[in-house]
Amino acid sequence: MIVTADWVLPITGPPLRDGAVAVKGRVIEAVGPLAEMTARYPERAVSVHADSVLVPGLVNAHTHLCLSALEGLIGPMPFPAWLERVAAASRALDADDFAASAAWGAVTCLMAGVTAVGDIAYGPESLSATGDIGPGGVFFWEVLGITETELARTLDRLEFPRERECGEGRFSCGISPHAPYTSGPALLRATHRLARERGIRHMLHLAESPAEERLMRSGDGPLAEVATRNARGFTSPGAGAVTYAHDLGVLEGTIAVHCVTASETETRLLARHARGVVLCPRSNRYLQCGAPPVAMLRSAGAALAIGSDSVASNEGVDLFAEARALAAMDPGLTPERLLAMMTLEGARVLGIEHHFGSLEPGKQADLVAIATPATGTPAETLVGRARPADVRAVMTAGAWRVLDGQPVGRTARIEAAMRVARAKAERVLSGTFPGRRSG
């Protein structure tokens, strides 16, 4: 098949007016002007996307797809109060609920043009449910509240995969010890070591909230009790969370999520040692955490990705809105850089750039056609005004998943299963926090 649109943005090269992508099976075979592609492959059917820009599938580098059933049930509210509620709601859900929730989250991602995720999972459900729907990416098994001696047994119980990659590299696994206030120093070192030994990615929520910063600096505040219960052996380092992770030796090669309260010195530590930083500005706002130091991170030279975080702490998945939020914080971010953060740079931070993030031969045939007014500056127009409702067509691994702005195939059963999980969470929230639930 040949897929063509008014503009094709390969990311690794300049925009192509009347460009086209030749797809063979699950991968991209060639990218170039439409006339050249049809001359080279005259027998191929041509899928035309008028008044649209064609981009690689977007990379949402931080999600919790298993929590998608909780959208709109909690908050906005300050992070510690939100955390308590999301933990209570999660305890009400079983493996089937998480699978239904992840499947619905995967549909939501596709509808927003996202075809690769950096997902925090609690077991095998998220990977299998998501994979069936279309998106690929890295699935991080989350461990917290245990000692380092319990790590191997816990990962066995959670069916942590033995192989690094599956599905021709479309899926890979990683490990995440959640955050410094839920995993003690010995556990952080153990997950970091395991990631190194197995050559997999290590992701850590870091410096997300003022409460975490206070815990780090003075050992008290609203997260102190959470840390006592979960982070065995934690004592306040009297320094920021990024410095703490660096001094423990666990920042090296780690994907750091949020980094809202990072100081200027810490942004330099992140640039030098972390694999990259995933920025989730709309989730940070929802949880009243503040704004990440985007300009300092950019000046320091950090690799930057964009994430929605879970939709339990956001108003849906919309990477364009995330990009505009970042642009408002740092006018030095160009539309081209923001588009790269949503695609190739995000893929590099996750370590999946061999398969995702740009339109190049040999990469996964993950394409998104977005309805956009005709201008001579397609990247600027796209980043400046696109919304998920403008996503007209999405292909993953050579198969159409969204056409005419609608999911291909029925999603009613997925939605119904998600609603069962959502009802359970709602009951627990209204019982545990009576009269305090919003949304």
21: its two tokens: 């992508």
Least distance (Å) from Zn ion to the CB of residue 176? 9
Task: Name, in order, each residue with C-beta under 8 angstroms of 347's C-beta and a sequence gap of 6 or more.
Answer: 59, 116, 353, 355, 356, 357, 358
Nearest of 52, 54, 59 to residue 10 by alpha carbon: 54
Q: CA gyration radius for the chain?
A: 21
Q: Is 25 exposed, middle or buried (0-12, 13-18, 19+ CB in 10 A)?
A: exposed
In 93-161, where do the E strands start and end? 114-121, 136-142
How far is the C-alpha of 72 from the C-alpha of 199, rounded, in Å? 37
Closest distance of CB 173 from Zn ion, Å: 17
Give the shortest CB-68-to-Zn ion separation in angstroms.
Answer: 13
Considering beta carbons, is residue 350 or 417 the nearer one to Zn ion? 350
Closest distance to Zn ion from the beta carbon of 83 (Å): 10
Judged by CB, which is closer to Zn ion: 66, or 129?
A: 66
Instruction: Tell me which residue of 15, 23, 77, 72 sits closest to 361, measured CA to CA.
Output: 23
Distance CA 274, CA 277 (A): 7
Q: Identify residue 243 by its one-letter amino acid code.
A: T
Residues near Zn ion (CB under 5 A): 309
> Given the complex with Zn ion, which of 309 and 426 has the nearer CB atom?
309
Q: Report residue 60: phi and psi, to 5°.
A: -100, 100
Shorter beta-carbon distance to Zn ion: residue 37 or 204: 204
Closest CB to Zn ion among residues 309, 345? 309
Minimum separation from the CB atom of position 258 to Zn ion (A)? 8
Our CB check for Zn ion shows the closer of 230 and 358 to be 230
Residue nearest to Zn ion (CB): 309
Minimum CB distance to Zn ion, residue 372 (Å): 30
Specify the residue, 41 or 104, whose C-beta has the smaller distance to Zn ion. 104
Distance CA 66, CA 68 (A): 6
- Tokens coding 358: 């740009």
Smallest separation (angstroms) from Zn ion to the CB of 191: 16
Nearer to Zn ion, 62 or 337 (CB): 62
Whether the bond into 210 is cis, omega within 30 of 0? no
Query: At closest approach, how far in Å is the CB of 23 from Zn ion?
Result: 33
Report the greatest alpha carbon distance in the chain: 69
At closest approach, how far in Å is the CB of 7 from Zn ion? 33
SS3 category, 106: helix
Residue 309 vs 322, nearer CB to Zn ion:
309
Pairwise CA distance, residues 68 & 97, whole Å: 10
Classify strands 46-56 and 367-371 as parallel, antiparallel or unpaired: antiparallel
Distance (Å, whole) CA 186 – CA 344: 34
Integer Cα distance of 114 and 103 in angstroms: 14
Q: How far is the CB of 55 from Zn ion (least distance, A)?
A: 25
Give 289 or 347: the residue with its C-beta nearer to Zn ion: 289
